[in-house]
């Protein structure tokens, strides 16, 4: 049994507590541009779509990196960045199918969710229950993937301008 982070768009109120909490714990300041979790917000339809690293099985970011700076923990799926070898190419950002990676506005290095080493700080801040860190079986992993598919479908709709 491992824990999974359930990320439910339907419960997201777009408050951005998660993003701020992330920037606080990781950078000791508040900056929505420095959160490993981001909210794609669409004000006219009051929508918020959470975007973050999904620790996915395919992890194309690793292959996309020209300098081999990314590695993956086989147990947790967490992607780590070797800051010394990273050349700030942004290839991982492009490669991520879940739009979960952004570059740090100052250092230009990728910001990738590491689940805070197994105790995600953001989830504690999500009172509406859109982020839930819970122990999971296979069923829960399926739920996680279903929630993710819904978010990605909405992401595409937002980009196409047809989201509602």
d(CA 31, CA 5): 22
d(CA 27, CA 32): 11
Nearest-approach distance from CB 120 to other proteins, in angstroms: 14
d(CA 122, CA 109): 21
Nearest-approach distance from CB 84 to other proteins, in angstroms: 25
**CA 5 to each of CA 49, 52, 108: distance values in angstroms, whole numbers, following the listed order:** 15, 11, 26
Site residues for other proteins per CB under 8 A: 10-11, 13-17, 20-21, 23-25, 27-34, 41-47, 105, 124-125, 127-128
Q: Residues for the chain: how many in total?
A: 164
Nearest-approach distance from CB 153 to other proteins, in angstroms: 16
Nearest-approach distance from CB 44 to other proteins, in angstroms: 6
Query: Which residue's CB is nearer to other proteins, number 14 or number 71?
Result: 14
Query: Which residue's CB is nearer to other proteins, number 72 or number 104?
Result: 104
Query: Which residue's CB is nearer to other proteins, number 57 or number 161?
Result: 161
Query: Which residue's CB is nearer to other proteins, number 79 or number 121?
Result: 121
d(CA 15, CA 28): 19
Paired with 47 in beta bridges are 42
3-state secondary structure of 7: strand
Nearest-approach distance from CB 94 to other proteins, in angstroms: 19
Q: Cβ contacts of residue 37 below 8 Å, gap of 6+?
A: 18, 19, 22, 50, 51, 52, 113, 122, 131
Query: Which residue's CB is nearer to other proteins, number 5 or number 21?
Result: 21
């Amino acid at each position: 049994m491992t824990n999974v982070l359930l990320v439910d768009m339907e419960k997201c109120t777009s408050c951005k507590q998660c993003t701020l909490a992330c920037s606080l714990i990781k950078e000791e300041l508040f900056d929505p541009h420095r959160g490993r979790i981001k909210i794609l917000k669409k004000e006219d339809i009051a929508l918020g779509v959470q975007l973050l690293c999904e620790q996915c099985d395919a992890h194309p970011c690793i292959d996309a990196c020209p300098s081999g700076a990314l590695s993956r923990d086989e147990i947790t799926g967490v992607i780590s960045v070797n800051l010394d070898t990273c050349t700030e190419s942004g290839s991982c950002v492009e490669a991520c199918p879940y739009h979960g990676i952004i570059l740090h506005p100052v250092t230009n290095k990728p910001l990738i969710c590491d689940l805070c080493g197994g105790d995600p700080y953001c989830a504690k801040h999500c009172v509406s229950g859109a982020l839930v860190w819970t122990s999971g079986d296979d069923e829960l992993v399926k739920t996680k993937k279903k929630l993710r598919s819904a978010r990605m479908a909405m992401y595409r709709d937002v980009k196409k301008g047809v989201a509602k």
